[in-house]
Amino acid sequence: MESICVWGGVALQGKVHIQGSKNAALPVLAATLLTGDSSYIRNCPRISDVHAMVSLLRELGCEVNWKEDGVLVNPAGICLGEMKSDAVRCMRSSLCLLGALLGRCGEVVMEHPGGCVIGSRPIDLHIAALEKMGVSFAVEGSRLKAVVKRLHGAEIRLEKPSVGATENVILAGVMAEGDTILHGAAREPEICALCRYLENCGALIEGTGGETLAIHGGRTLYGTDYRVPSDRIVAGTYLFACLVSGGNILLEDAPASEMESVLRLCEQMGGHVCISEEGIYVQGPAVPKAGGYVRTAAYPGFPTDLQSVALATASVAEGETVIEETIFENRFRIVEELRRMGAEIEVLNDKKVLVRGVPYLTGCEVEAKELRGGAALTVAALRAEGRTTITGCSYIYRGYENICRDFKELGARIISV
């Protein structure tokens, strides 16, 4: 399934269940390494990034088995912290295994982590933080080696709220001797999900959800039964799809409390939102309104992972929208592809674009160059005249279980080929 074909012009109707969160599931799976016995991770999304993480865990000696509603992980067989798989190079989130393996084995050898091409994404913050906990790093060719005799608590201040660095400090901190105080921690809901899992296992973490975390290390951790929360980025993608195409949809089990900035922009662009116990009900306008000034920011600001989808929505909105990207420096790779479809987008600088909405886009062949941009092209195709073919869809499958099935359930004319 390397391509997706969409015939636009159909308003979405119906309901769709929101899958488990990619960005929560991956660090939680890494954290299972720190427990003394098996953990059952429910609502784990069946996406390529999770399958890659499962492969890495198996290579490290874990017993991992998929069940009907989740994945069972037994880490008892781990003895080495060496990751040989190519999955490390293609999946940025493999970096969260660094803190977990240091806590479990005291040594890690891994390829430099990869993922989507959306900027340099340096790991300096991870290294500087872990060095304060006693870890020594060395580069051996294309591989990174990290060694620690005994992790110890430390007072750490992050220069910026990095999600990955926060996760690694938490994972190492729960296994360290003494307390680790982390200032400038990322506040994303996925960080809270990781803390909740570890607390269920017996860890003691104070300040969850805030900028300062106190991680009390040295406690014995046990396996647990844990449910991964729903994916706020997938929910946001489908919400904007309703704005683009029109119609009425119910996003079942969508995490509304984690989506305040997204819901505000939705309403600003003409959508009507109603939150209930079932999820989020969205009524799309006949034509979306311009978004004004949209600026990405660390949580609770507007998420960078939905910037491309907001850009696609603005391209068919009435009026002008300015979008500023503050997290990654290469998030506008979708611009040329949208222009091929007839969008009017002016690149003001490497961090800012001006979008002048047009009534409709025109179907053609476009290429997904990264995960969120690929999903955004699929959303844009819903309002394009004729057929749009999206290639490079392996990127999309890294974060969406089955975007074609979900849109088809809402009435879209879409197939994977």
Q: What share of the chain is helix, strand, coil (3-state, %, to 5)?
A: 35, 30, 40
| Known catalytic residue at 116 | yes
Spans of all domains in the chain: 4-19+230-416, 22-227
Q: Going along 79-208, which residue ranges are E strands?
A: 107-111, 136-140, 143-147, 155-157, 179-183, 204-206
pLDDT of residue 140: 83
pLDDT (tens place) for every residue of the chain, 417 residues total? 589 999 999 999 999 999 999 999 999 999 999 998 999 999 999 999 999 999 999 989 999 999 989 999 999 998 776 776 565 655 556 788 999 999 999 999 887 665 444 345 578 899 999 999 999 999 888 788 999 999 999 999 999 999 999 999 999 999 999 999 999 999 999 999 999 999 999 999 999 999 999 999 999 999 999 999 999 999 999 999 999 999 999 999 999 999 999 999 999 999 999 999 999 999 999 999 999 999 999 999 999 999 999 999 999 999 999 999 999 877 899 999 999 999 999 999 999 999 999 999 999 999 999 999 999 999 999 999 999 999 999 999 999 999 999 999 999 999 999
- The active-site residue out of 96, 116, 195, 393 is 116
pLDDT of residue 92: 58
The reported pTM is 0.95
**Fold match between 4-19+230-416 and 22-227?**
yes
Fold of 22-227: UDP-n-acetylglucosamine1-carboxyvinyl-transferase; Chain (3.65.10)
> Residue 239: which of 275, 290, 293 has the closest Cα?
275
8 Å CB contact between 329 and 119: yes
pLDDT of residue 116: 47
d(CA 68, CA 283): 33
Query: Which helix (H) or strand (E) segment is 276 a member of?
Result: none
pLDDT of residue 110: 85
pLDDT of residue 121: 53
End-to-end CA distance of the chain: 5
Q: Please give the class, per CATH, of domain 4-19+230-416.
A: alpha beta
